Copies of this chain bind each other. A is one copy, B any other.
Amino acid sequence: MKRIGMLTSGGDCQALNAAMRGVAKTLFNAKEDVEIYGFLNGYQGLIYGKFRLLNYGDFSGILTKGGTFLGSSRTPFKTIQDPDENGLDKVAAMKQNYYKLQLDCLVILGGNGTHKTANLLREQGLNVVTLPKTIDNDLWGTDMTFGFQSAVDIATDAIDCIHTTAASHGRVFIVEVMGHKVGFLTLNAGMAGGADIILIPEIPYDIDKIVEKIQERHDRGSAFTILAVAEGAISKEDAKLSKKEYKKKMEKYKYPSVSYEIAEKIQKKSGLDVRVTVPGHTQRGGSPCPYDRVFASRLGSEAGKLILKGEYGFMVGYKNREIVKVPLEDVAGKLKMVDPKSSIVKEAKMLGISFGD
């Protein structure tokens, strides 16, 4: 008999339900008896003991559903060790609920912040298995995270839509793509959507190079230009600032997001009409794409297998087309970024895409 706790934490994404279904089906199909407790709204549920016992039916019909049926919340790692407003020690509370329910293991689905807390719980002696969820694909230790490909699909759809209107009006259009501090999502959606310029945090841009590229297209007879801009894109000047200086700058930032600053600069320098579109949270919602459904199901299934074997302290990741277990201490606190010298970036450049560098 195994007793499992399960929770989803951080910003939601596609295929969270598919992944949980993968874990649960594998456990329920095993010979051993299993009880799965679902904690509601991320670590909040574990802290305050809000959970329910889940049965086979809870995992039926959820493969194709976006979001997470357990709910999620952002519980910043920075404050997880602080007492709550009533003085409750959150870490102690999580441990207490874990032991009260006599859990054998926690299955935690989340991104970077979530993994820091998951590793903390591991250090505190709890058994933990995690699954890499994020549209940003910025988790260290895995080539791929679920949610990523679905978000690429939605962001690409947006660029496709913008393409026809940009072409009809001969306009410069910026599509701002999510991705937090890394550029995987923008790079892939930009290449898929046929963007002419792609700006990602890992390759700081020079506004003059951007204007040059637009001008060059214009001179060749292309009246329009599409830019895929990561929400974390940064100029060469800003990239030279210290973290503190940059933070200070952004505190007084007058633009809704970086794309608007870039748009204003292009407009000033080129005299062209520049528009900005921000698909925003739509990128993390809706039904997961088939790739993510298969991928999340596979990861979930392997997580179930680890639990059945009693192997804890791992994130289930994906390396060189193999599903692997990665020690949590190797994952927590690290960020995977786009390597500016990677072959995909070189290929994009060979295709004529400018990164503004």
Contact = CB atoms under 8 A, between A and B. Distances in A.
Nearest to A153: B290
Interface stretch (A67-75, A81-89, A111-119, A237-245): A67-75
Contacts of A277: 278-282
Contacts of A352: 25, 29
Given A64-B160, A71-B170, A192-B294, 5 more contacts: A12-B169, A71-B169, A156-B290, A277-B280, A297-B347
Contacts of A294: 188, 191-192
B162 A285 contact: yes
Interface in A109-139: none
A350 interface: yes
A63 B283 CA distance: 21
A179 to B, nearest CB: 15
Given A67-B168, A168-B67, A282 B162 contact: yes
Interface in A28-55: 29, 41
Contacts of A286: 157, 160-161, 164
A153 B289 contact: yes
Interface of A: 8, 11-12, 14, 16, 22, 25-26, 29, 41, 63-68, 71-73, 143, 149, 152-154, 156-158, 160-165, 167-170, 173, 188-189, 191-194, 223, 256, 275-286, 289-291, 293-294, 297-298, 301-302, 304-305, 320-323, 343-344, 347-348, 350-352
A221 B329 CA distance: 39
A12 B64 CA distance: 20
Grouping DSSP codes into helix (H, G, I), strand (E, B) and loop, the A interface class, with mixed when no group exceeds half, is: helix
Contact of A321 (B279, B280, B285, B321): B321
Contact of A305 (B192, B256, B302, B350): B350
A21 to B, nearest CB: 8
A221 to B, nearest CB: 9
Contacts of A297: 191, 347, 351
A152 B320 contact: no
Nearest to A292: B192
Given A12-B164, A282-B277, A320-B321, A169 B72 contact: yes
A153 B188 CA distance: 18
A273 B240 CA distance: 34
Indicate the member of A153, A160, A285, A301 with the most B CB atoms within 10 Å.
Answer: A285
B301 A350 contact: yes
Indicate the member of A67, A161, A352 with the most B CB atoms within 10 Å.
Answer: A161
A78 B41 CA distance: 54
Contact of A347 (B170, B276, B293, B302): B302
A281 B321 contact: no
Given A160-B64, A352-B29, A12 B192 contact: no
Given A154-B161, A162-B285, A282-B162, A149 B291 contact: yes
